[in-house]
Amino acid sequence: MVGVPDPQRTEIVKAFVVLAPGFQGSGALAEELAQHVKKRLSAHSYPREVEFVTELPKTPSGKIQRFLLRKAEVEKRKAG
Tell me the per-residue pLDDT of 39-51, one tens digit each, with 9 for 90 and over.
998 888 899 999 9
* Radius of gyration over every alpha carbon of the chain, rounded to an integer in angstroms: 13
Please give the model's pTM, rounded to 2 decimal places. Answer: 0.86
CA distance 14 to 41: 15
For the chain, which residues make up each domain, given as ranges?
A: 2-79
Q: Which CATH superfamily is domain 2-79 in?
A: ANL, C-terminal domain (3.30.300.30)
Query: Residue 7: its pLDDT value, please?
Result: 84
Nearest to 74 by CA among 2, 18, 1, 25: 2
Distance separating alpha carbons of residues 65 and 33, to the nearest angstrom: 22
Alpha helices (H) in the chain, listed in sequence order = 27-40, 66-79
pLDDT tens-digit readout, 57-73: 999 999 999 999 999 99
Over residues 4-57, the pLDDT tens digits come to 988 888 899 999 999 999 999 999 999 999 999 999 988 888 999 999 999 999
